[in-house]
Amino acid sequence: MTFTPLTPEHAAAVLKRGGVLAYPTEGVWGLGCDPFNESAVRRVLEIKRRPAAKGMIVIAADAAQLSPWLRWDELALSRKEQIHASWPGPNTWLVPCTPDVPDWLRGEHDTLAARVTAHEPAAALCRAFGGPLVSTSANRASEPPARCFAELDLALLAEVDGVLAGETGGLDSPSTIRDGRSGVVLRG
């Protein structure tokens, strides 16, 4: 199986049609889609074999792309400053979200896992798409994440609609996840 790597513009067109992409992030290959397209998000969950109750991470090119969904006023000013100081970068924060964030994104939580990516291929995809994207590691649940394209499961690749050109940022692990209210590291 071969894939012609897509430019951010062509990949964004796939997303706008409800497609699912594999794309490189800071440390691992990810799966992404339009976060407000329920059928696309559910497809990502099926590909990963991940329960919807866990929620999904969304990435953005800048904080403004996330602002409509997040309730910054529910955080202490010092925590908000800490979050913004960590972006762009491989830092995902669970931030209180607005009631219109669908449960297929937030799962059973009142927060949204959000990150402003510093990885240029992923940021370029968000800019071309015009907003945030679902970002979850491109592996089946409980399987190790792919750190390079060659490590991607061919059966998983057969279920996506395209692959964004690029390589991961070379980090040794997926993004750190922290609770936005307490600052506690949930995944290091």
Angle at which helices 8-16 and 120-129 cross, to 10°:
50
| 76-97: average pLDDT | 97
- The CA-CA-CA angle for residues 25, 26, 29, to 5°, reads 35
Q: What is the C-alpha separation between 92 and 135, in angstroms, rounded?
A: 11
Which pLDDT value is given to residue 1?
58
Confidence of residue 121 (pLDDT cuts 50, 70, 90): very high
- pTM (predicted TM-score): 0.94
Q: What is the C-alpha separation between 120 and 64, in angstroms, rounded?
A: 17
